[in-house]
Amino acid sequence: MISMSIVGWDIGGVHTKAALVRYEADAVPDVRVVTRPFEVWRAKDRLPDLLRDVLAELTDRPPQAMALTMTAELSDVFRTKREGVRFVLDSVGIAFPKTPVYVLSLTGEWVPRAEAYDRPLDFAANNWLATALYVAEVYRNALVLDVGSTTTDVVPVVDGRVAALGRTDLDRLLHGELVYTGVLRTPLAAVVRSVPLRGRFCPVSSEYFAVTGDVYLVLGRIRPEDYTCPTPDGRPPTVEFARERLARLVCADIEQLTPAEIDAIADYIYERQLQQVETAVRKVRSRLGEPADLPVLPLGTGAFLAVEVARRMGLRLLEPPMAWGSAGGRVAPCVAAASLLTNWLMADGHEP
């Protein structure tokens, strides 16, 4: 294999992620990743600048090509997905006018950016497919369980093929392949209706007072530097402030609740979120012929949650593909997209 340098993107509504994958002869590829919080609805016109910044952080040499995946088109700053996909395509073109950019279609093809512009709906929310297609090249059978900041992907790979039933977000929700729950940004009223407190169950507030990031900070499952989204109250992501945010879930404050009471609430929410993910896994597995043969590949910032679901269900665990390195599992779509595009460019003799 000749030397090659490809950047994979996953441009979301709240985080932009990128991976640089460098191939040198037959060595294990070198992978570098960057995750940047960027809320596209706040200042969408700054996206090209952000993309340039991220690339500069990854490398000082332009890559040979870029692989693009996204979910940002769902942001309500766009009236339709059509508008959103085109905006992302435009932004990448503005940021990198000279670099060939290929976009992964929902049928698994790499399409040049200009061509994708003509049929934008084929590229909406395509990031999970990059992960699944790459996993299918490495593992014959796997259940991809990618627990992110906001959403969880549950995608079966069976006999070396992506066995997802859904392609669009809507169909994936219906099939249990997309679960709108994650370990950072999920509002707690979307996970629990009530929490145990002082011998009873207390119904919760539906205000945006606390998120799952606060739960996992308090429980020590993530570090402050993993809390890569704004906190609901704008205060820092520390255990102390996270407890203040969690107390508000039951319309209380830290003068009314003890740290132990707050932490017990957090532990209960963790339990319920595990159940949300487990339910989706059981739903997806229930349609497969011999689901016992399907080991779980835990990915994403919330991989710890995927691991626990697998443990409870007695499912074998797979390691993230070695080529992704230690950080790749957290930004799987980027690394997968870059890897897939490299293979495609090499195999088909496309000139990047």
> Residues in the site for a second copy, rule: CB under 8 A?
41, 74, 76-77, 79-82, 121, 125, 150, 168-170, 173-174, 176, 178-181, 186-187, 189-190, 197-198, 200, 202-209, 232-233, 244-245, 248, 250-256
Min dist. Cβ of residue 251 to a second copy (A): 4
Q: How far, CA to CA in Å, does 302 sit from each of 113, 182, 216, 291?
A: 31, 7, 10, 23
Min dist. Cβ of residue 117 to a second copy (A): 16
Min dist. Cβ of residue 234 to a second copy (A): 8
State both tokens at 281. Answer: 């896994």
Pick between residue 59 and residue 80 the one whose CB is nearest to a second copy: 80
Pick between residue 99 and residue 168 the one whose CB is nearest to a second copy: 168
Min dist. Cβ of residue 206 to a second copy (A): 4
* Nearest to 17, CA basis, from 55, 73, 44: 55
Pick between residue 79 and residue 98 the one whose CB is nearest to a second copy: 79
**b vs e for 190-227, b when ≥16 Cβ sit within 10 Å of the residue's Cβ?**
ebbeebebeeeeeebbeeebbbbbbbbbbeebbeeebb
Pick between residue 150 and residue 301 the one whose CB is nearest to a second copy: 150
Min dist. Cβ of residue 280 to a second copy (A): 8
Q: In 10 A of CB 175, how many CB atoms? A: 17
Q: What are phi and psi of 28, to 5 degrees?
A: -60, 130
The DSSP element (H or E) to which 11 belongs, if any, is strand 4-11
Min dist. Cβ of residue 276 to a second copy (A): 9
Min dist. Cβ of residue 33 to a second copy (A): 25
Pick between residue 89 and residue 210 the one whose CB is nearest to a second copy: 210
For the CA atoms of 46, 47, 52, 57, what is the dihedral angle to 10 degrees?
A: 100
Strand partners, 285: none
- Burial grade of 28 (CB within 10 A; 0-12, 13-18, 19 or more): exposed
Pick between residue 129 and residue 345 the one whose CB is nearest to a second copy: 129
Pick between residue 121 and residue 292 the one whose CB is nearest to a second copy: 121
